[in-house]
Chains A and B, each alone.
Chain A
């Protein structure tokens, strides 16, 4: 069993073409690209509004987003799309037999180390996605698809920084 069945990923160029068609469909149907971090923002804004309405109303970040969504921050295109992503990812995992509970990490590090850096990485990515008005999906990929200058800048800044910092974090991965 050199190559078990569960490891057969799709040809990356074919996956790329299909990914491009998904972005094309989103633009054709909804006039916008795909995204991910925006759905987290929706959830946070809805959560803060529910728990501390006065606080949310007094904060421009929460309030502007809520008003832009007609007072229903959770009823947002990206929230529905991200629910789909979870279903789609799960279905793909079922078909390709990749459903397992595991902490995936380089065997040279402890899984605890992996989880600590996953948390730090997530915090930074969440913060950066708000400052940068979108993440790899919404700003870089979908932005590039519509030739947005900002999309190209996001892409270059995200991947450029990761390349520059790769040396310092090499023990996590190689």
Chain B
């Protein structure tokens, strides 16, 4: 049955329309969770507000488990679902640059659009920065190209990579997340939070 667009159960235009509605859900949930506030987002790095940790990992686990169940029930063919490619060095270096951007800017791309949607001017400036950054990468592409394509590992799933079943891998992630939630709850009590 699923994925509906790839199995041509819905047309390309319907897929684009549904993308818009998925986006509404995405933006709504991010804003409701508090991801439109840079001070809430940055809080996870100082322990005073760990909403990022809680929402992000609960989201990841829910999606993982959902896909695992859908696959088990035969509702979705996981071979047709896009699995992100892994280019080891660009993933690490790109991630490090993004991490630096996160702690300085207080947003990531998705959350900055949520912040801008409710009138946060710092989020709008961050978005201008995003456009400059992407444009700069495009213009300096020749410079980045060797690193961009280094160590192509294909599209491995982490379970395959470690040679364990998907179920066990998800279980490990859940246990790790629960431990982190526990640390997060403790940190929020330890570090004072102002109202903002």
Indicate whether A144 sits within 8 Å of B64 (C-beta atoms), given known contacts A86-B27, A88-B26, A162-B102. Answer: yes
Shortest CB distance B106–A (Å)? 7
Instruction: Compute how far the CA of A161 lies from the CA of B105 in the bound complex, rounded to whole angstroms.
Output: 14
Write out the residue numbers on chain A whose beta carbons fall within 8 Å of the beta carbon of B135. Answer: 44, 48, 126
| Contact status B103-A131, CB under 8 Å | no
Q: Is the interface of A mostly helix, strand, loop or mixed?
A: helix
| Contact status A118-B107, CB under 8 Å | yes
Write out the residue numbers on chain A whose beta carbons fall within 8 Å of the beta carbon of B29. Answer: 10, 15, 18-19, 22, 88, 92
Instruction: Compute how far the CA of A31 lies from the CA of B93 in the bound complex, rounded to whole angstroms.
Output: 27
Q: Is the interface on chain A under 10, 10 to 19, 20 to 34, or 35 or more residues?
A: 35 or more
| Contact status A101-B110, CB under 8 Å | no
Q: Which residue among A138, A139, A150, A159 has the maximum number of chain B CB atoms within 10 Å of its CB?
A: A150
Write out the residue numbers on chain B whose beta carbons fall within 8 Å of the beta carbon of A133. Answer: 84-85, 87, 90-91, 94
Within 8 A of A (CB), among B74-95: 75-76, 78, 80-88, 90-95
| Contact status B24-A101, CB under 8 Å | no
Q: Which residue among B22, B34, B131 has the maximum number of chain A CB atoms within 10 Å of its CB?
A: B22
- A5 at interface, CB cutoff 8 A: no
Indicate whether A85 sits within 8 Å of B114 (C-beta atoms), given known contacts A77-B15, A145-B67. Answer: yes
| Contact status B17-A135, CB under 8 Å | no
Contact residue among A91, A96, A124, A163 (Cβ-Cβ distance under 8 Å from B133): A124
Within 8 A of A (CB), among B1-58: 2-6, 10, 15-34, 36-40, 42-43, 45-46, 48, 51, 54-58
Write out the residue numbers on chain A whose beta carbons fall within 8 Å of the beta carbon of B126. Answer: 118-119, 121-122, 125
Instruction: Compute how far the CA of A34 lies from the CA of B35 in the bound complex, rounded to whole angstroms.
Output: 16
Sorted from nearest, which 5 A-B pairs have the closest CB atoms? Answer: A121-B105, A122-B129, A84-B23, A132-B94, A126-B133
Q: Which residues of A contact B (CB under 8 A)?
A: 7, 9-10, 12-13, 15-37, 40-41, 43-45, 48, 59-62, 75, 77-78, 80-93, 96, 98-106, 111, 114-115, 117-166, 169-170, 172-174
Q: A118-B38, A141-B63 are in contact. List 11 more A-B contacts (CB 8 A).
A: A15-B29, A16-B61, A27-B2, A78-B19, A117-B105, A122-B133, A123-B130, A136-B56, A149-B153, A150-B86, A150-B155
24 contacts between A and B (CB under 8 A): A9-B33, A13-B55, A20-B65, A20-B66, A26-B19, A27-B67, A59-B138, A85-B113, A88-B23, A89-B114, A99-B119, A123-B133, A124-B101, A124-B133, A131-B90, A132-B94, A132-B95, A142-B84, A143-B83, A147-B158, A148-B86, A149-B86, A154-B98, A156-B95
